[in-house]
Amino acid sequence: MRTLLLLLLLMSPALMSPALAVQPDERLADPALETRARTLSRELRCVVCQNESIDESNAPLARDLRILLRQRLTAGDSDAQASAFLVARYGDFVLLRPPLRADTWLLWFGPFAVLLLGAGITVFALRRRAPASAAPLSAEEQARLDRLMREDAP
Amino acid sequence: MRRLIFLLPLLLFAALAGYFAFALISGRDPRELPSALLDKPAPDFDLPSLLPLGLTEGQRLSLAGLKGQVVVLNVFASWCAPCRVEHPLLLRLARQDKVHLVGIAYKDRPEDSRRFLAELGNPYRATGIDRDGRTGIDFGLYGVPETYVIDRQGHIRKRFVGPLSATLIDRELLPLLRQLERP
Q: Which of B35-39, B41-45, B74-78 has the lowest mean pLDDT?
A: B35-39
What 8-state DSSP symbol labels residue A55? Answer: T
Q: Side-chain half-sphere of B171: how many Cα atoms within 13 Å?
A: 6
Q: Give the residue-averaged pLDDT of B2-13.
A: 87
Q: For residue range B62-103, list pLDDT tens digits in order.
A: 999 998 999 999 999 999 999 999 999 999 999 987 889 999
- Chain centroid, CA B118 distance in Å: 22
C-alpha dihedral (A126, A128, A130, A135), degrees to nearest 10:
160
Give A71's contacts in chain B (Cβ within 8 Å).
Answer: none
Read off the pLDDT band of A18 (50, 70, 90): low
8 Å CB contact between B103 and B183: no
Distance CA B25, CA B18 (A): 10
Give A88's contacts in chain B (Cβ within 8 Å).
Answer: 36
Q: Which of A72-86, A109-123, B33-47 has the lowest mean pLDDT?
A: B33-47
Q: Give the residue-averaged pLDDT of A12-18.
A: 62
Q: What is the pLDDT of residue B52?
A: 60
* Structural Rg of chain B based on CA atoms: 21
What is the model's pTM? 0.77
Q: Is it the case that residue A40 has pLDDT exceeding 60?
A: yes
Given CB atoms, is B54 within the 8 Å cutoff of chain A?
no
Q: For residue range A109-152, list pLDDT tens digits in order.
A: 999 999 999 999 999 999 887 766 677 888 899 999 999 988 87
State the best of A48, A51, A54, A61 to mutate against chain B, taking most chain B CBs within 10 Å.
A61
Q: What is the pLDDT of residue A17?
A: 56
Whether B34 and A89 lie within 8 Å, measured CB to CB: no
